């Protein structure tokens, strides 16, 4: 790649956008843990695509960066997004200046990547997951483009304590001692933050930051869609700067007894959008970095049977890796752990945002290339050379990690594969002799780079990208770099920029890694005229559409199955949980994008029966769960009453859509009986 260089400029055009990308909240395997049994069944809080665009004046270059509440970016998603943007804007946004990066949450719907390896547990391609992500990226960029205005960008850095530990400490110790001695910890603790300010009003309009910790606070048995700790940090950050929930407390305790459950009611397809509490004013994104060996389960890994620490070198318990599981700071409550790790990132981000005073100035620029990673010759220095190989998964992949242990007896550190698994492997594809030699000392469990039936199992051609805004360089990489690999990459790029000799860059140059960007590969350049394949015409989907929905006789969708149970004291207190269950239909019938499946409403006194929404399913305190049952299903809505809630009369509301063979999709709503909070 050529070195980024050019003349500086005094001011930028800045635009930000955000759009709902939650996807199907029922029946779809989650991407991340590769657990067949982990399928979506509700929403912890919604997923979003958040975008910023920075342009170097009206006619100068521009860069666009999109952060996804998703496990990773997808090559096919990138291809289709670029096609849509080209139809809107011509060549203004293209593969060179648009970066799409995932937060690495393991609690989002899967089935949106085009290679077989990443769609086995999702039973192939899932159109609904794919469309939700592509739509959200497109709309977030459209919003950012439409909002472009003169602005300033400030940069700040700081440490995030206790938000990540190295989950492979024995592997980290294999790095050279002199290299390890240069760093105080075995994980990167630095958060790098950008603050975007409207130049005309001096009003902050958004912020993006990069910090490395895995999106695995929610466990491999969780079934609620969630942005995990980074998505939660974004919610807290955006609410901190933009959410206004001023309500008048209710004075009459007898009012709570006056309003029973509404029963199911027919409504329009946009009704739930009217109950959406958040109207996006401020965009705050918590982006991923070199996260490969960094876990949010900061208490460490322990054996489930004995409670003792796992074997240090093998991450197992008496030879069983299934028993070795990392513990988050809220253990055994994974939702609490998610909140704690999210809050730790949020608090640092607020401090960095409020104290940011170093303004970015200088050129906006970008570089991009595609590289075929299957057979690169690499100069290792000291006269040594090496080469890369086609993608292959080893025993360590099957062993999993302490965030999500694998199965079938594999352990970290295995150097051989037993004859039984060799036989199973060979039934799929026996690795070539060249592959076996090339991958040594790693044993080849699955030679994905040599597998092409029914279509390619893993990518070979991958994008490498650099974005520049002043002295900030964002490295968009298509994978999970480990702590030390990330340090080496950042250092190598910075050295190359500074040594270029044109004076553009110096020791103050900031280099950040945006991991899981534009595509995804398990593999860690010189430019070639390459492009990745579009496999959309070959993709296979084994996920059936939802069956027509039904309710028991004399029941309609939106009726309460179990109404709110009032505590013996006659009211709820802050910290209590109010729950109601409704007769419901499959959430896949309509994703209610930019709407909500659930809300909490407060009675506004003095105006008749006027109910005002105060929480929706994007709130951390409100959980929408869904269970399939007898041709239909049940929606369980649970509100953990926050400490800052206003005393008054409340009720829970559910929204959804059901499918009929003759009439197609119909929309419904229903509300619980009212209850008092004081």
Taking CA atoms, 331 is separated from 223, 302, 334, in Å, by: 18, 11, 6
* All residues at 6 or more sequence positions from 611 whose CB lies less than 8 Å from its CB, including other chains: 601, 602, 603, 604, 651, 653, 671
pLDDT surpassing 70 at residue 353: yes
User: Does some domain include residue 532?
Assistant: no
My answer on whether 568 and 510 are in the same domain is no
Instruction: Give yes or no for a contact between 246 and 388, defined as CB atoms under 8 angstroms apart.
Output: no
* All residues at 6 or more sequence positions from 23 whose CB lies less than 8 Å from its CB, including other chains: 40, 47, 108, 109, 128, 129, 132, 133, 225, 591
pLDDT digits (tens, 9 = 90+) for 280-294: 789 999 999 999 999
pLDDT digits (tens, 9 = 90+) for 466-482: 999 999 999 999 999 99
Catalytic residue check, 295: yes
User: Does some domain include residue 539?
Assistant: no
pLDDT surpassing 90 at residue 258: no
**pLDDT more than 90, % of the chain:** 82
My answer on whether 631 and 484 are in the same domain is no
For range 638-643, the mean pLDDT: 96
Would you state the pLDDT for residue 202? 93
My answer on whether 349 and 201 are in the same domain is yes
> Which residue, 271, 456, 234, is CA-closest to 349?
234
> Which residue, 671, 609, 518, is CA-closest to 255?
609
Would you state the pLDDT for residue 381? 82
> Which residue, 65, 66, 72, 67, is CA-closest to 106?
72
Would you state the pLDDT for residue 124? 97
Give the chain's mean pLDDT: 93
pLDDT surpassing 50 at residue 618: yes
Would you state the pLDDT for residue 250? 62
Task: Return d(Cα 609, Cα 603) in angstroms, integer.
Answer: 7
Rg (CA), the chain: 26
DSSP state of 131: H
Instruction: Give yes or no for a contact between 234 and 50, defined as CB atoms under 8 angstroms apart.
Output: yes
My answer on whether 60 and 120 are in the same domain is yes
pLDDT surpassing 60 at residue 3: no
Task: Return d(Cα 20, Cα 39) in angstroms, integer.
Answer: 20
The confidence band for 390, taking pLDDT boundaries of 50, 70 and 90, is very high
Would you state the pLDDT for residue 244? 65
H-helix or E-strand spanning residue 209? strand 204-210
My answer on whether 580 and 504 are in the same domain is no
Instruction: Give yes or no for a contact between 120 and 106, defined as CB atoms under 8 angstroms apart.
Output: no
My answer on whether 165 and 112 are in the same domain is yes
For range 530-546, the mean pLDDT: 91
434 annotated as ligand-binding: no
pLDDT surpassing 70 at residue 196: yes
Sign of dihedral through CA atoms 518, 520, 526, 528? negative
pLDDT digits (tens, 9 = 90+) for 456-468: 999 999 999 999 9
Q: Which two tokens stand for residue 302?
A: 């322990």
For range 560-572, the mean pLDDT: 96
Would you state the pLDDT for residue 4? 44
Instruction: Give yes or no for a contact between 458 and 444, defined as CB atoms under 8 angstroms apart.
Output: no
pLDDT digits (tens, 9 = 90+) for 627-637: 998 767 999 99
Would you state the pLDDT for residue 526? 38
pLDDT surpassing 70 at residue 591: yes
User: Does some domain include residue 81?
Assistant: yes
pLDDT surpassing 70 at residue 26: yes
pLDDT surpassing 60 at residue 449: yes
The mean-pLDDT minimum among 5-9, 283-287, 630-634, 663-667 falls in 5-9
Task: Return d(Cα 146, Cα 371) in angstroms, integer.
Answer: 33
Task: Return d(Cα 565, Cα 576) in angstroms, integer.
Answer: 12
The confidence band for 525, taking pLDDT boundaries of 50, 70 and 90, is low
User: Does some domain include residue 534?
Assistant: no
Q: Which of 60-74, 500-514, 534-548 has the highest mean pLDDT?
A: 60-74
The confidence band for 529, taking pLDDT boundaries of 50, 70 and 90, is low
DSSP bridge partners of 385: 379
pLDDT digits (tens, 9 = 90+) for 51-105: 999 999 878 899 999 999 999 999 999 999 999 999 999 999 999 999 999 999 9
User: Does some domain include residue 440?
Assistant: no
My answer on whether 213 and 148 are in the same domain is yes
DSSP bridge partners of 54: 14, 63
My answer on whether 102 and 218 are in the same domain is yes
User: Does some domain include residue 390?
Assistant: no
> Which residue, 205, 234, 193, 287, is CA-closest to 15?
205
Would you state the pLDDT for residue 9? 40
The domain total for the chain is 2
My answer on whether 126 and 185 are in the same domain is yes
Would you state the pLDDT for residue 255? 61
My answer on whether 292 and 152 are in the same domain is yes
Q: Which two tokens stand for residue 588?
A: 């896949």
Domain residues for the domain of 614 are 559-677
Task: Return d(Cα 330, Cα 337) in angstroms, integer.
Answer: 4
Q: Which two tokens stand for residue 309?
A: 């620490």
pLDDT surpassing 60 at residue 523: no
Looking at residue 637, which CATH number applies to its domain? 2.60.40.2300
Q: Which of 119, 250, 295, 672 is catalytic?
A: 295
106 annotated as ligand-binding: no
The confidence band for 502, taking pLDDT boundaries of 50, 70 and 90, is confident
The confidence band for 1, taking pLDDT boundaries of 50, 70 and 90, is very low
Would you state the pLDDT for residue 382? 84
For range 524-548, the mean pLDDT: 80
My answer on whether 500 and 579 are in the same domain is no
368 annotated as ligand-binding: no
Task: Return d(Cα 346, Cα 334) in angstroms, integer.
Answer: 18
Q: Which two tokens stand for residue 95?
A: 């593969």
pLDDT surpassing 80 at residue 447: yes
The confidence band for 279, taking pLDDT boundaries of 50, 70 and 90, is confident
For range 613-642, the mean pLDDT: 94
pLDDT digits (tens, 9 = 90+) for 102-142: 999 999 999 999 999 999 999 999 999 999 999 999 999 99
For range 41-58, the mean pLDDT: 96
Would you state the pLDDT for residue 303? 96
User: Does some domain include residue 627?
Assistant: yes
pLDDT digits (tens, 9 = 90+) for 299-344: 999 999 999 999 999 999 998 989 999 999 999 999 999 999 999 9
User: Does some domain include residue 326?
Assistant: no
Which tops the pLDDT comparison, 414 or 287?
287
> Which residue, 368, 315, 252, 80, is CA-closest to 604?
252
Would you state the pLDDT for residue 409? 78
My answer on whether 471 and 593 are in the same domain is no
Is it true that the peptide bond before 653 is cis, omega within 30 degrees of 0? Answer: no
pLDDT surpassing 90 at residue 496: yes
């Amino acid at each position: 790649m050529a070195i980024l260089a050019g003349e500086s400029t005094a001011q930028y055009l800045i635009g930000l956008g955000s759009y709902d990308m939650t996807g199907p909240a029922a029946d779809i395997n989650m991407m991340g843990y590769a657990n067949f049994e982990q399928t979506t069944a509700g929403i912890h809080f919604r997923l979003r695509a958040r975008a910023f665009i920075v342009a170097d004046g009206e006619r100068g270059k521009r860069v666009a960066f999109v952060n996804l509440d998703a496990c990773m970016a997808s090559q096919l998603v990138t291809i289709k997004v670029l096609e849509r943007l080209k139809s809107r804007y011509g060549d203004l946004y293209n593969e060179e200046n648009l970066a799409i990066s995932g937060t690495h949450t393991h609690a989002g719907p899967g089935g949106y990547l085009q290679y077989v390896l990443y769609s086995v547990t999702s039973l192939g391609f899932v159109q609904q997951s794919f469309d939700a992500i592509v739509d959200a990226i497109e709309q977030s960029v459209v919003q950012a483009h439409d909002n472009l205005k003169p602005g300033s960008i400030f940069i700040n850095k700081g440490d995030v304590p206790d938000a990540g530990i190295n989950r492979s400490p024995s592997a980290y110790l294999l790095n050279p001692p002199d290299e390890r001695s240069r760093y105080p910890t075995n994980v990167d603790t630095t958060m790098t933050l950008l603050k975007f300010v409207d130049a005309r009003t001096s009003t902050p309009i958004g912020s993006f930051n990069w910090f490395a910790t895995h999106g695995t606070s929610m466990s491999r048995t969780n079934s609620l869609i969630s942005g995990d700790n980074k998505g939660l940090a974004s919610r807290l950050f955006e609410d901190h700067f933009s959410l206004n929930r001023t309500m008048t407390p209710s004075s009459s305790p007898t009012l709570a007894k006056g309003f029973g459950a509404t029963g199911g009611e027919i409504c329009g397809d946009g009704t739930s959008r009217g109950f959406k509490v958040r109207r996006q004013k401020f965009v705050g994104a918590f982006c991923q970095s070199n996260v490969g060996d960094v876990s949010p389960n900061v208490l460490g890994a322990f054996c489930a049977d004995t409670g003792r620490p796992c074997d240090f070198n093998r991450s197992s318990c008496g030879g069983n890796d299934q028993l070795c599981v990392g513990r988050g700071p809220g253990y055994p409550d994974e939702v609490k752990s998610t909140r704690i790790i999210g809050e730790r990132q949020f608090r640092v981000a607020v401090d960095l945002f409020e104290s940011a005073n170093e303004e970015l100035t200088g050129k906006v620029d970008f570089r991009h290339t595609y590289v075929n990673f299957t057979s690169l010759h690499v100069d290792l220095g000291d006269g040594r050379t090496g080469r890369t190989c086609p993608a292959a998964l080893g025993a360590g992949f099957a062993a999993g990690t302490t965030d999500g242990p694998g199965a079938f007896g594999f352990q970290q550190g295995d150097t051989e594969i037993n004859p039984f698994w060799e036989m199973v492997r060979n039934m799929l594809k026996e690795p070539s002799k060249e592959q076996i030699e090339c991958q040594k000392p790693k044993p080849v469990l699955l030679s994905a780079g040599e597998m092409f039936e029914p279509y390619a199992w893993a990518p070979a051609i991958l994008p490498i990208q650099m974005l520049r805004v002043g002295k900030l360089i964002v490295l968009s990489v298509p994978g999970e770099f480990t702590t030390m690999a990330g340090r080496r990459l950042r250092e190598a790029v910075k050295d190359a920029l500074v040594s270029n000799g044109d004076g553009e860059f110096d020791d103050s140059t900031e280099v950040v890694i945006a991991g899981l960007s534009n595509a995804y590969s398990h593999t860690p350049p010189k430019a070639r005229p390459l492009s990745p394949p579009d496999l959309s015409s070959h993709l296979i989907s084994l996920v059936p559409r939802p069956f027509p929905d039904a309710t028991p006789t004399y029941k309609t969708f939106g009726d309460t199955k179990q109404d709110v149970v009032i505590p013996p004291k006659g009211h709820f207190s802050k910290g209590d949980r109010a729950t109601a269950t409704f007769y419901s239909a499959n959430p896949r019938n309509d994703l209610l994008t930019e709407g909500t499946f659930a809300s909490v409403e407060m009675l506004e006194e003095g105006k008749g029966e006027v109910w005002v929404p105060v929480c929706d399913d994007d709130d951390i305190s409100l959980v929408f769960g869904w269970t399939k049952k007898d041709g239909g299903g049940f929606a369980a809505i649970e509100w953990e009453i926050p400490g800052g809630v206003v005393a008054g009369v409340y009720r829970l509301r559910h929204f959804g859509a059901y499918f009929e063979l003759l009439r197609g999709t119909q929309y419904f709503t229903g509300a619980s009986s009212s209850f008092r909070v004081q």
